[in-house]
A and B are shown apart, each in its own frame.
Chain A
Amino acid sequence: MTTFMSRKDLFLLLGFTIVVLAMPIWLAPFGAGYPDLLQRFMIFGIFAVGFNILFGLTGYLSFGHAAFFGVGSYAAVWSFKLLTLDAIPAMIFAVVISGLFALVIGFLCLRRSGIYFSILTLAFAQMSYNLAYSVLTPITNGETGLQLTLADPRVLDAAMGQTFVGQPVPTLFGQQLGGYAGFYFCAGFLILAFFIAQRIAGSPFGMMLKAIKSNQTRMQFTGFNTRPYALSAFVISGMYAGLAGALLAVTDPLAGAERMQWTASGEVVLMTILGGVGTLVGPVIGAWIIKYFENILSALNDNILARFWSFLPDGVSDVVVKITSKFVGDGWHLTLGLAFVIVVIFLPGGIMEGVRRLAALFRRSGSSSPKTSARTQPAE
């Protein structure tokens, strides 16, 4: 085993697996231990890990990754509609389709670099989004979103003689994928995705990608053609996005075009930056934090805040409630934006850099109190 993976990598993978699988337990005290949110943690974790393979390793900032996410969703729903309600074929189908899509778009976009690359990916994603809303309505069902109906052909299911009663839902070998079953299904994929990303980062191929990030010109002078490497990274990360999109379709079989909008692309960039670009664990943590606070903060309202601040004197607490209420509920994006600005300004390496600085601090002075460490914890 040691020749296959270093001991450190193995521990990291094991630790990650344990943390992920035990999430329903350790997240319960934080009010996040329910399957719906946990599934989202897994799905956006995969999305962010995949995005990091492109942005973190090669340095190419794509602003159009939501397109692959959306394509994955549509492909999965079509697989449910046409072939079978089983999730596995849908996953494969979605990953293949989004990979092909990424191959075409990546081939064109990677002819440019820097901001031109970002704008090209953005342009392609916006084109896909606008087309999904207008001309491609027969495929995407436009604003309504693509959904499963009883009348779908489902040729494989029909050949197997399976029939369904009521609203069709995706299954895995006949088992329904609701609730915790859905979570563990997604968690399996996240761990797999993490493992593959880990292997890529540690492989000669990963070294090549990092070299592209640090100095592409020098790579070319030493005789490497960098474009195939960058394109492979682009396609792999597009496949990750497609996988995440397909999983979202499994847990909630309704694919809408808004998943492809550029704000969705921006969100995955935020997740990756917040967690730490170029690190393995960072993007996943970033995704979890954003999804967690999206869920928690957007559910808060004035009453809950009033109870929370009730220990303050009356007049003061009213003011405080008034101010804080701007940052929660519908206004949680304001918190996100502020947190994001603060992270980019003070902690460009994201949360992982914060952790690293903290560890260095502890190593230098072992006696530093945990109180100071709590304060240097990065925003949110």
Chain B
Amino acid sequence: MFEVIFLQFLNGLDKGAAYALIALGLTLVFGTLGVVNFAHGALFMLGAFCAVTVRMFLTMETVTLDPEKLSPWGAPLEVREPLVQAWLGDFGAVLVNYSVPVSIIITIPIMLLVGIALERGIIKHFYKRTHAEQILVTFGLAIVAQEVIKSVFGPNPIPQPMPTDLRGAADIGAFLGMQANVITYPVWRLIYFVFAGVVIGGVFAFLQFTTFGMVVRAGMADRETVGLLGINIDRRFTIMFGLAAVVAGMAGVMYTPLLPPNYHLGMDFLVLSFVVVVVGGMGSLPGAVAAGFLLGILQSFASMNQVKAIFPGIDQIIIYLVAVIILLVRPRGLMGRRGVMEA
């Protein structure tokens, strides 16, 4: 029994990690700019499609017909040669194999630019507007992003293979000194979890241990006073928006092997991430991370057959149910500050 529960716990971690990463970015934006960003799920999706694009470029190939050899159907054999491999040799093959992690390097500057452009172009004008209007304009932006992706990449999910070395499952049970082959867990999910931990730790460390982060935290607490001290807090907040976009984008890139991205990926995750943010408490970074993992793990437990036998359909609604209960019992979510977003 312990093994089953432990396995479900592990299963919840990767989804929880994705929720936590998106919720972290949402909370960063909300905590700094005070903007409710419904386009954040779209940023997650854009990141995923960065990975798709990178792979498309990496797997571009030349097709030549070889008249000497015949395919089993009697036609001249097509010889496909990936360009990257032709140019770079073995290193090119490694690049293609590791296309998903490699795309992170390209995703970071792209998402930073997208985030900053978005903030300077549109979000900036919505600081003083009501939360309802912020929700609406970002919701419209999310629709636009989703439709642009749909018209470029088509409506179908595009599977992304994970690197060959990282396929298969790791025997965690044996690693922890338990019986072998009882608790096995896909390696890529483990990597996703570790990756999420590193990113979350990085963001917290950045806020906690750098001067820039200190100023940002001061600005979150009292924007006006920081501004009066002669610090250009708006510029720093813009960069924080870019950072949130980067976090969402990276989360999207790494998630592609687990779930083939399609154009409504962002919306699917957005609704859940918003629930996560609200459960964690608007504006609380640790709350967002904790709630992300909590809801991911609860969802995993709810999809156990034993649980479903008692409460049929619980796996479909558990997140919303928990959200409703927490919001009704603890008005500000798990770790929310008093007076945030209640008007």
Contacts and interface: CB of A to CB of B under 8 A. Distances in A.
Contacts of A111: 328, 331
A116 B342 contact: yes
The contact size tier of chain B is 35 or more
B151 interface: yes
Interface stretch (B78-86, B209-217, B312-320): B312-320
Contacts of B133: 344, 348
A299 interface: no
Interface in B311-343: 312-313, 316-317, 320-321, 323-324, 327-328, 331, 341-343
B141 A337 contact: yes
B144 A341 contact: yes
Interface of B is mostly: helix
B159 to A, nearest CB: 22
A272 to B, nearest CB: 10
A269 interface: yes
A131 B140 contact: no
Given A334-B151, A336-B143, A341-B122, A116 B320 contact: no
A229 interface: no
Interface of A is mostly: helix
Contact of B316 (A124, A133, A269): A133
Contacts of B275: 119, 122-123
A118 interface: yes
B324 A345 contact: no
Given A123-B275, A127-B320, A131-B317, A344 B328 contact: no
B278 interface: yes
Contacts of A124: 320, 324
A336 B139 CA distance: 11
A303 B142 CA distance: 29
Interface stretch (B67-75, B124-132, B174-182, B218-226): B124-132
B327 A337 contact: no
B167 interface: no
Nearest to A266: B139
A345 B122 contact: yes
A108 B325 CA distance: 10
A338 B146 CA distance: 12
Interface in A117-164: 118-120, 122-124, 126-127, 130-131, 133-136
Q: Please name the 10 residue pairs, one residue from A and one from B, whose CB atoms are nearest each other, closest first.
A: A135-B313, A337-B143, A334-B147, A130-B316, A340-B140, A341-B140, A123-B320, A337-B144, A344-B137, A127-B317
18 contacts: A61-B135, A108-B324, A108-B328, A112-B328, A113-B343, A119-B275, A134-B316, A135-B313, A136-B313, A262-B271, A266-B139, A330-B150, A334-B143, A340-B136, A340-B143, A341-B141, A341-B144, A345-B125
Given A134-B316, A331-B150, 18 more contacts: A61-B132, A108-B328, A114-B131, A116-B331, A120-B327, A122-B274, A123-B275, A123-B323, A124-B324, A130-B316, A131-B316, A134-B312, A262-B271, A336-B143, A337-B140, A337-B143, A338-B144, A340-B140
